[in-house]
């Protein structure tokens, strides 16, 4: 039987009813422990914003409507576009009159699963975050009084708000709730990795499975130390030693929100779901490819000032780095049809 | 060294010390050391009562970095970040309520009540 690998033998025995031996040694098969990475079908929602078709549809309209910006040319989707993995493909975002902003547009994919929002965690929930870009003079720069006055007299929007939040005013609360309800529908949980977790042992290649093992091994990649199950984030903040932190007056990130010295230069761990669609990478957009990202961590970062204790040289080989990249490429949920909203006339 | 999830020992003369993992000779009389573990992205207890002069040692048993800080009026401190197996100790020198957090993981919170 030397020609037969142990896991193959286990599978053969399994088909003969020897279930106890099933797949125990199959390196290609997900283990019960691996299934901690399976996401719930839907993100949690606040008690006062239970999702409904009307709320999601209203939120989608608002999300794609550039008339929510002062010059009526910049919508939420301008920076969080389904064409670019719900980001924008830019190193850092462009806001009001194409002003180049300091940070990359984070994807909204699976944002509903996160317990804290934005690169610096300044907003706890999607509801709290939704109005921020409209109010920022660097972004959509909207006069909210004018916005709500317009929404209130627009027949289609008035009807949509009434259907979504009957008896409630058209204001910041209902507008942000609707946008948040829509954002919670942007979910990636059917990638090759997810199918592999659910038992399809061939959904990932051998390289991708090896990459996953390297990703989670504390003595190898240790990526899962921060990109934790199930949404590939610890909802935490880390200074990862980017070169930009060594520049004069660097972006201090979380420290501006929580003035604790350890947090200088720390930013939130982003999800890696659909990450192959959201280049460039890091909060400053300084990495063009996923291989550059892994190589950065393999070096232990570029600037050691205030760097996280979790960032240190890894000694990964080139093949191992490629395996980890290959694994991250298995985190993309196949494209599904997406119907754009029909926006109300002026 | 494996610590239990939580323990404390008071160094009063003649007191029975349940565990012996540290030396107390340098501590003032009546001072105790309490050990809190950070594991599974959580502090081992949500609330801890100590007395003025007691120390609390935070031990990281997760395979990633944690931090301990507080911005409370009663005591503001930042013990910095430390990796697996690392620990930080702090002495509480006046009474009050101290909200302790991990700067890395905002979901990690606990409260220390310092009594006289």
Beta bridge partners of A277: none
Domain termination site, one of A183, A209, A228: A183
Six-digit token pair at A104? Answer: 């990359």
Q: What is the CATH number of the domain that holds A286?
A: 1.10.760.10
Residue A129 lies in a domain: yes
Vertex A64: Cα angle to A60 and A69 (nearest 5): 125
Domain that holds residue A121: 47-183
A89 and A195 in a common domain: no
- What tens digit of pLDDT does each residue of A173-183 get? 999 999 999 99
**In which band, very low, low, confident or very high, does the pLDDT at A264 lie, cut at 50, 70 and 90?**
very high
Q: Give the integer Cα–Cα distance in Å for A255 and A112.
A: 24
Mean pLDDT of the A282-307 span? 97
| B82 lies within 8 A of chain A by CB | yes
Closest chain B C-alpha to A60 CA, distance in angstroms:
30
**In which band, very low, low, confident or very high, does the pLDDT at A295 lie, cut at 50, 70 and 90?**
very high
- What tens digit of pLDDT does each residue of B81-98 get? 898 999 999 999 999 999
A217 and A144 in a common domain: no
Q: Give the integer Cα–Cα distance in Å for A230 and A333.
A: 15
A311 and A226 in a common domain: yes
Weakest mean pLDDT among A201-215, A323-337, B7-21:
B7-21
Residue A17 lies in a domain: no
Which chain B residues are Cβ-neighbours of A257 within 8 angstroms? none
Whether the predicted interface score ipTM is above 0.90: no
- What tens digit of pLDDT does each residue of A60-77 get? 999 999 999 999 999 999
What separation, in Å, do the N-terminal and C-terminal C-alpha atoms of chain A show? 75
Q: Which long-range contacts (CB under 8 A, 24 or more apart) does A19-25 make?
A: A23/A201
**Does the pLDDT value for residue A52 go beyond 80?**
yes
Domain count of the fold of chain A: 2
Q: What percent of chain B has pLDDT over 70?
A: 75
A319 and A205 in a common domain: yes
Q: Give the integer Cα–Cα distance in Å for A344 and A263.
A: 44
- Judged by CB atoms closer than 8 Å, whether chains meet at B71 and A260 is answered as yes
Say what the alpha-carbon torsion angle A87, A254, A289, A182 is, to the nearest 10 degrees.
Answer: -20
**In which band, very low, low, confident or very high, does the pLDDT at A11 lie, cut at 50, 70 and 90?**
very low
Instruction: Look at residues B106, B115, B90, B114 and name the one whose alpha carbon lies nearest to residue B43.
Output: B106
Residue A33 lies in a domain: no
Residue A31 lies in a domain: no
Which chain B residues are Cβ-neighbours of A254 within 8 angstroms? 103
E-strand stretches of B1-116? 6-10, 32-38, 47-51, 55-60, 66-71, 76-82, 87-91, 96-101, 109-115
**Does the pLDDT value for residue A4 go beyond 50?**
no
Of B64, B78, B83, the CB nearest to A262: B78
Instruction: Look at residues B59, B68, B60, B54 and name the one whose alpha carbon lies nearest to residue B105.
Output: B68
Residue A132 lies in a domain: yes
Residue A334 lies in a domain: no
Residue B74's SS3 state is coil
| B14 lies within 8 A of chain A by CB | no
What is the pLDDT at residue B28?
A: 52
Mean pLDDT of the B74-79 span? 94
Interface test with B, best of A262, A264, A266, A304 (most B CBs within 10 A): A262
A194 and A170 in a common domain: no
Q: Give the integer Cα–Cα distance in Å for A106 and A154.
A: 31
A160 and A218 in a common domain: no
Six-digit token pair at A98? Answer: 């194409």
Based on the number of CB atoms within 10 Å of its own CB, is A340 exposed (0-12), middle (13-18) or buried (19 or more)?
exposed
A289 and A302 in a common domain: yes
Residue A27 lies in a domain: no
The mean pLDDT value of chain A amounts to: 93
Q: Give the integer Cα–Cα distance in Å for A335 and A146.
A: 37
Residue A248 lies in a domain: yes
Which chain B residues are Cβ-neighbours of A222 within 8 angstroms? 63-64
Weakest mean pLDDT among A21-35, A119-133, B79-93:
A21-35
Q: Give the integer Cα–Cα distance in Å for A71 and A73.
A: 5
What is the pLDDT at residue B63?
A: 86
Six-digit token pair at A234? Answer: 């610890």
What is the pLDDT at residue A25?
A: 80
Which chain A residues are Cβ-neighbours of B81 within 8 angstroms? 262, 308-309
- Judged by CB atoms closer than 8 Å, whether chains meet at B106 and A309 is answered as no
A167 and A250 in a common domain: no
**Does the pLDDT value for residue B14 go beyond 90?**
no
DSSP B53: T
A307 and A200 in a common domain: yes
């Amino acid at each position: 039987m030397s020609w037969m690998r142990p896991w193959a033998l286990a599978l053969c025995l399994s088909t003969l009813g020897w279930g106890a031996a099933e797949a125990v040694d199959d390196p290609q098969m997900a283990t019960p422990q691996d299934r901690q990475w399976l996401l719930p079908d839907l993100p949690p929602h606040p008690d006062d914003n239970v999702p409904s078709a009307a709320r999601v549809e209203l939120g989608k309209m608002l999300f794609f409507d550039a008339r929510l910006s002062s010059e009526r040319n910049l919508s939420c989707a301008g920076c969080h576009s389904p064409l670019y993995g719900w980001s924008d493909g830019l190193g850092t975002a462009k806001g009001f009159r194409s002003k180049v902003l300091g940070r990359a547009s984070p994807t909204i994919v699976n944002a509903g699963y996160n317990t804290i929002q934005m690169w610096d965690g300044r907003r706890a929930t999607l509801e709290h975050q939704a109005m921020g870009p409209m109010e920022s003079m660097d972004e959509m720069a909207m006069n909210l009084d004018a916005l709500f006055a317009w929404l209130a007299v627009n027949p289609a929007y008035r009807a949509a708000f009434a259907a979504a939040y009957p008896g409630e005013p058209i204001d910041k609360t209902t507008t942000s709730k609707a946008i948040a309800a829509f954002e919670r529908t942007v979910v990636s949980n059917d990638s090759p990795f997810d199918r592999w977790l659910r038992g399809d042992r061939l959904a990932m290649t051998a390289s991708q499975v090896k990459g996953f093992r390297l990703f989670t091994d504390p003595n190898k990649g240790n990526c899962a130390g921060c990109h934790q199950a199930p949404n590939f984030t610890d909802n935490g903040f880390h200074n990862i030693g980017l070169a930009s932190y060594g520049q004069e007056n660097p972006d201090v990130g979380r420290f501006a929100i929580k003035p604790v010295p350890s947090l200088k230069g720390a930013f939130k761990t982003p999800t890696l779901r659909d990450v192959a669609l959201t280049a460039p990478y890091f909060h400053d957009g300084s990495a063009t490819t996923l291989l550059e990202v892994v190589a950065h961590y393999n070096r232990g970062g570029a600037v050691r000032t205030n760097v996280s204790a979790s960032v240190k040289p890894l000694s990964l080989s080139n093949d191992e780095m490629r395996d980890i990249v290959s694994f991250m490429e298995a985190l993309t949920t196949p494209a599904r049809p997406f119907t754009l909203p029909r926006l109300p006339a002026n | 060294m494996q610590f239990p999830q939580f323990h404390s020992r008071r160094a009063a003369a003649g007191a029975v010390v349940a565990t012996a993992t540290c030396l107390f000779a340098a501590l003032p009389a009546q001072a105790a050391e309490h050990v809190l573990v950070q594991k599974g992205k959580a502090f081992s207890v949500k609330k801890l009562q100590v007395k003025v002069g007691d120390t609390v040692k935070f031990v990281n048993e997760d395979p990633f970095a944690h931090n301990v800080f507080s911005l409370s009026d009663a005591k503001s401190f930042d013990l910095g970040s430390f990796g697996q197996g690392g620990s930080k100790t702090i002495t509480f020198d006046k009474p009050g309520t101290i909200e302790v957090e991990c700067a890395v993981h905002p979901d990690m919170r606990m409260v220390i009540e310092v009594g006289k």
